A and B are shown apart, each in its own frame.
Chain A
Amino acid sequence: MSSETDPVVSLSGAKKYFGAVHALEDGRIDLYAGEAHALVGENGAGKSTLVKIFAGLHRPDAGRLCIEGKEVVFNSPRDAIQSGVAVIYQEPTLFPDLTVAENIFMDRQPQRSFHRIDYRGMNQAARAIFARLEVDLDPTRLALGLSIAEQQIVEIAKSLSLEARVIVMDEPTAALSSVEVDRLFRVAQTLKSSGVAILFISHRLDEVFTLCERVTVMRDGRFVQAAFTTETDEDSLVRAMVGRDVERRSDQVRGVDLKPLLEVEHLTLEGLFADISFSVAAGEVVALSGLVGAGRSEVATAIFGVRRYDYGKVKVGGKPIKRGSPSAAMAAGIGLVPEDRRLQGLVMEQSIARNIAMGSFKSLRRKGLIRSITETRFAADWSVKLQIKYGNLANSVSTLSGGNQQKVVLAKWMSRSPKVLIVDEPTRGIDIGTKAEVHRLILELAKSGVAVLVISSELPEVLNLADRILVMREGRLVGEFDHSEATEEAIIAAATLSKEVKAA
């Protein structure tokens, strides 16, 4: 058993302060060769700070970092890499115009005489690494157009070429489809069997149990507990993370034979989705499920009008809506909480107040003019309603945590009292406590008579929220399940199998 051996990397008593903010009070973790060690905790628990200490980006204000028993000090990312510690970020940034092999060997290309790059040798070396990882990726192709999953593999290959003994994966699965997660896990298994120690950070607890031997829980910048995954379960991890029990949704079935409020008929956009027809009734929560890339977000953006569609109709309360016009969709009562909060949902450098008011400028006019005070009062009201935690409403929205940012987007739409609200990946990258709040808000909206369409890649979330579940695959609707009959297995089968699954 590897627990008998000494850890490759050991961090203990790490503290990190930013002015008055105590980001890390007591960071500790031991990583062992050939093992994956999960680090879980809510946002703000100190996971990122800990990762940045491993990456050499932060120097801890106190504490010891030992590699193979010897104390080390990382003054820069270069030090970390030279000590054999590599970090794979959620969204790697490769050089898009260079080949995969060039990205792997950036700054240390094998050379021939006169400093010419030995392309053949470089490509062969890259190919050898991919063979070792058992993935099929062409080293000579450009990085441009690689999926996030493939980019992560390239980063892993890069860390292997640097002979990393410790690989830190910072929420690598957050933006991956389940097929891609499986591949990443196979690569991780290969890494483990070759003796690499993995630090794995994820919000998805099922992944922790699939991949990892050990798990450490952090809360409020402090170490809470460490355990073997075989000796603990999801519920006790969640309790340790939030320090209390999380409520689950009571299994009430809501109105079924209500009149449809949002109707989508034969919606088609060549190459992205075809013949999508469904409806959502007032007070109903319908989930649009499927793999990443199945066309779910594309349908949502087409309904909202930021994307034009070729054929079909969108109606609210029986009235058709002009296509390709978000303002027409909004006038009809549709709201969209988009997939990418930072890019589409928020104007990051503008104030919290301004972002909450973003959809309501016209109604905030008094005698034709908007005054900041009106805007701020409006935002303050909604911040209280949604329990948004902020320092000052005039601060930029980028100062908020991910969960509170998402609440700002929700506030922007809820303040318009929409009839139809589409929420795309409402809880991606959000801690468990806030996630429960967002779920509660969505269900309350439905209860108040809003037709809600939820898009989510997390099946527990889909099952938790939806009255009905629609499944998309390759741009088509391929299945529909009632809340009572839906199971994770059935949804996954519909989303991945090529033959149509029909249920009631």
Chain B
Amino acid sequence: MLQAETFELKDDLHPESGKNHLDIRSFLRWESGLGIVLVASLVIGTLASSQFLSSANFFNIGLSVGDIAIMALPLTLIVISGEIDLSVASTLGLSSSLLGYLWIHGWPIQLILPVVLVVGALLGFINGFLVTKLGLPSLAVTIGTLTLYRGIALILLGSNIVSNFPASYTTIGVTPIPGTPLPWSVGIFLVLALIFGVVAHFTPLGRSIFAIGSNAEAAAYSGIKVKQIKMRLYILSGVICSLAGILFTFRLATAEYDNATGLELNAVSIVLLAGVSIFGGRGTILGVVLAAATVGAIGNALLLANFPQQAMGLIFGGLLLISVFVPNARELALRFKGQLSKGRLVGSHRG
């Protein structure tokens, strides 16, 4: 019976909708919806506090989401390709610990930074190897490395807190880009987002990533190097998360093993709120930028409105559920309508 009903649903969908979710118009609708939410949160923030629109506050908003938003970019491509990476925050944490570890062992910072980025690439490679070469499910693999990488971070640094970094670096974390109210992390995010956006939407590689996420087998039958591309996405994710780790460390001016613990869920939330399908094949980088801004603005507005910190989860959890519900709402509505119209037909037949 279940099978029969799915058939019916498909049949009812086609003539009425005519188009599918991939239609560019439905994307724009999602992004314009996000834009409205963003504007609304800005309005609420302004009403909640006179400080909301100040440049100092914009700086704070930027700081609160910058690192997470950077991690969300490669994660977006991974999710579009039909996989997931939950180890992003642990990669950030391990990079931060390594940075601190090498610093207290007297390495020069100019050498530490490239080493940390290379190790980030290695961490991404390990994920990619387990997913593409061994064919393990990415959800399980990256839950594993989420714990593993955090564990290595703990071994490296123990309970040490390294905080004597040179001031020339730590000021990056607390001063805005000259001439703007934006912190460096947001600047880097925007530049990366531009690059990611162009790659995702205007290059063969981007087209291939979407194809892989929609139907990996058909992609392989079209000559797309499915495994190679996924591997490279994981390596990219490792490098970018390391970069986020460096920024995070300098922002707080401390390297600790538990830096950014749990933030992978925030990154995933931004990706989903951006309208990226968790099943792969759909999403835009523009959506990610809007989603990051929205999350930052709402969090900050709530903070200024003295919304209890503990209840923030309520808002973000709700937003996340809405972002999963809304893209499917049309189908749900159609199914509901289908049942109604069937009922009507019976009536009209009798009448």
Q: Say yes or no for B326: interface residue by CB 8 A criterion.
A: no
CB-CB nearest in chain B for A412: B222
- Interchain nearest-CB distance for A258 vs B (Å): 27
B211 to chain A, nearest CB (A): 5
B3 located at the interface, meaning its Cβ lies under 8 Å from any Cβ of chain A in the complex: yes
Contact flag A395-B19 (CB < 8 Å), given A361-B207, A370-B202 = yes
Are the C-beta atoms of A59 and B15 separated by less than 8 Å?
no
Residue A218 lies at the interface, judged by CB distance under 8 Å to chain B: no
Cα distance, A18 to B10, chains bound together (Å): 12
Is B204 in contact with A370, judged by CB distance below 8 angstroms?
Answer: yes
- Scan B208-231; emit 1 where CB is below 8 A from any A CB, else 0: 101100110111111111000000
B211 touches A358 (CB 8 A): yes
A residues in contact with B204, CB < 8 Å: 361-362, 364-365, 370
Q: B22 contacts which chain A residues (CB < 8 A)?
A: 349-351, 396
Does A277 belong to the interface (CB within 8 Å)?
A: no
Contact A347 B8 (CB under 8 A): no
| Distance between Cα atoms of A265 and B3 in the complex (Å) | 45
Name A57's contact: one of B4, B15, B20 (CB within 8 Å): B4
The chain B residue sitting closest to A372, CB to CB, is B24
Task: Assess whether B18 is in contact with A399, with CB atoms less than 8 Å apart.
Answer: yes
Stretch at the interface among A73-81, A122-130, A267-275, A283-291: A73-81
B21 CB–A CB distance under 8 Å: yes
Selected from B203, B211, B217, B342, the residue in CB contact (under 8 A) with A343 is: B217
Give the shortest distance, in Å, between A406 (CB) and chain B (any CB): 14
Do A370 and B203 have beta carbons less than 8 Å apart?
yes
The answer, among B4, B16, B202, B211, for a CB contact under 8 Å with A369, is B202
Check B281–A349 contact: CB distance below 8 A: yes
Write the chain A residue with the least CB distance to B343. A75
Among the listed B20, B203, B215, B222, which residue makes an inter-chain contact with A368, where contact means beta carbons less than 8 Å apart? Answer: B203
Residues of A within 8 A of B8 (CB): 52, 57-58
Let me know if A327 and B223 touch, CB within 8 A.
yes
Contact across chains for B215 and A391 when beta carbons are under 8 A apart: no
> What chain A residues lie within 8 Å of B225 (beta carbons)?
327
The contact string, 1 if C-beta is below 8 Å from chain B, for chain A 56-95, is: 1111010000000000010101100000000000000100
Q: Report whether A344 and B217 are in contact in the complex, using a CB–CB cutoff of 8 Å.
A: yes
Query: Quick check: is B7 within 8 A (CB to CB) of the other chain?
Result: yes
Question: Is the CB–CB distance between A354 and B207 below 8 Å?
Answer: yes
Interface size on A, residues (CB 8 A): 54
A306 adjacent to B220 (CB under 8 Å)? yes
Tell me, yes or no, whether A262 is within 8 Å of chain B by CB: no
Given contacts A330-B223, A394-B24, contact A371 B202 (CB under 8 A): yes
On chain B, the residues within 8 Å of A372 by CB distance are 24
Q: A349-B20, A398-B20 are in contact. Are A336 and B221 (CB under 8 A)?
A: yes
With an 8 A cutoff between CB atoms, is A346 at the interface? yes
Bound complex: CA A77 to CA B7 (Å) = 11
Across the two chains, which residue of chain B brings its CB closest to A89? B3
Measured between beta carbons, the chain B residues less than 8 angstroms from A59 are 342, 345-346, 349
Smallest CB separation, A50 vs chain B (Å)? 13
Closest to A305 in B: B223
* Cβ A359 vs Cβ B222 within 8 A: yes
Q: Counting CB contacts under 8 A, is B105 at the interface?
A: no
- Residues A395 and B223 in contact, CB atoms below 8 Å apart: no
Q: Contact partner of A347 among B7, B218, B342, CB < 8 A?
A: B218
Q: A350-B210, A370-B207 are in contact. Are A19 and B345 (CB under 8 A)?
A: no
Closest to A344 in B: B221
Query: If A19-B15, A344-B218 touch, does A73 touch B203 (CB 8 Å cutoff)?
Result: no
Cα(A348)–Cα(B203), bound, Å: 21
Q: How far is the CA of A55 from the CA of B211 in the complex (A)?
A: 35
- Contact flags (1/0) for B1-42 with A, using CB distance below 8 Å? 101110110011011101111111000000000000000000
Asked whether any CB of chain A lies closer than 8 Å to the CB of B198, the reply is yes
For B, the interface residue count at a CB cutoff of 8 angstroms equals: 42
Q: Is the CB of B214 within 8 A of A347?
A: yes
* Distance between A360 CB and nearest chain B CB, rounded to angstroms: 9
Q: How far is the CA of A304 from the CA of B223 in the complex (A)?
A: 9
Say whether A338 contacts B221, CB under 8 Å.
yes
User: Are B18 and A78 closer than 8 Å at their CB atoms?
Assistant: no
Q: Is the CB of B219 within 8 A of A399?
A: no
CB-defined contacts of B20 to chain A, threshold 8 Å: 349, 395-396, 398-399
- Which chain B positions have C-beta within 8 A of A345? 218, 221
A425–B6 CA distance with the chains assembled, in angstroms: 27
When distances are taken between beta carbons in the complex, the residues of chain A under 8 Å from B16 are 18-19
Instruction: For the complex, give the distance between the alpha carbons of A361 and B16 in Å.
Output: 32
Separation of A326 and B227 alpha carbons in the complex (Å): 12
Chain B nearest Cβ from A362, distance in angstroms: 5
By the criterion CB–CB under 8 Å, are A75 and B342 in contact? yes
User: A372–B217 Cα gap in the complex (Å)?
Assistant: 23
* Known A361-B208, A396-B20: A350·B281 in contact at CB below 8 Å: yes
A396-B19 contact given A58-B11, A350-B210, A369-B198, CB 8 Å threshold = yes
Question: Considering the chains assembled together, what is the distance between the CA atoms of A75 and B219 in angstroms?
Answer: 41
Q: Which residues of A contact B207 (CB under 8 A)?
A: 354, 357-358, 361, 370
Are A75 and B18 in contact, with the CB atoms below 8 A?
no
In the complex, chain B residues 278-323 whose Cβ is within 8 Å of any chain A Cβ: 281
> Nearest residue in B to A92 (C-beta to C-beta)?
B3
Q: Chain B: which residue is nearest A362 at the CB level? A: B204
CB of A384 within 8 Å of the partner chain:
no
Minimum CB–CB distance for A351 against chain B, Å: 6
Q: When each residue 293-319 of chain A gets 1 if its CB lies under 8 Å from chain B and 0 otherwise, what string results?
A: 000000000001010000000000000
Contact partner, A73, options B15, B219, B349, Cβ 8 Å: B349
Please name all residues of chain A whose beta carbon is closer than 8 Å to the beta carbon of B202 when the two chains form the complex.
369-371
A504 within 8 A of B: no
Q: Do residues B215 and A343 form an inter-chain contact, with CB atoms below 8 A? A: yes
Cα distance A345–B214 when bound, in Å?
12
Chain A residue at minimum C-beta to C-beta distance from B198: A369
B206 CB, min distance to chain A CBs, angstroms: 8
For the complex, is A1 an interface residue (Cβ under 8 Å from B)?
Answer: no
Contact of B1 with A78 in the complex, beta carbons under 8 Å: yes
Whether A369 and B221, one on each chain, are in contact in the complex, defined by CB atoms closer than 8 angstroms, is: no
CB distance from B27 to the nearest CB of A (A): 11
Q: Which residues does A use to contact B, with CB under 8 Å?
A: 18-21, 52, 55-59, 61, 73, 75, 77-78, 93, 304, 306, 326-327, 329-330, 336, 338, 343-351, 354, 357-359, 361-362, 364-365, 368-372, 391-392, 394-396, 398-399, 412
21 interchain pairs, CB-CB under 8 A: A19-B15, A56-B4, A57-B4, A57-B11, A61-B345, A73-B349, A77-B4, A77-B5, A93-B3, A343-B215, A343-B217, A344-B218, A345-B218, A348-B215, A350-B211, A361-B204, A394-B23, A396-B20, A396-B22, A398-B20, A399-B18
Given contacts A18-B12, A358-B219, 9 further A-B contacts (CB under 8 A): A57-B7, A306-B220, A306-B221, A344-B218, A349-B20, A354-B207, A370-B202, A370-B207, A396-B20
Sorted nearest first, the 6 A-B pairs with minimum C-beta distance are: A18-B15, A361-B204, A396-B20, A369-B202, A330-B223, A77-B4
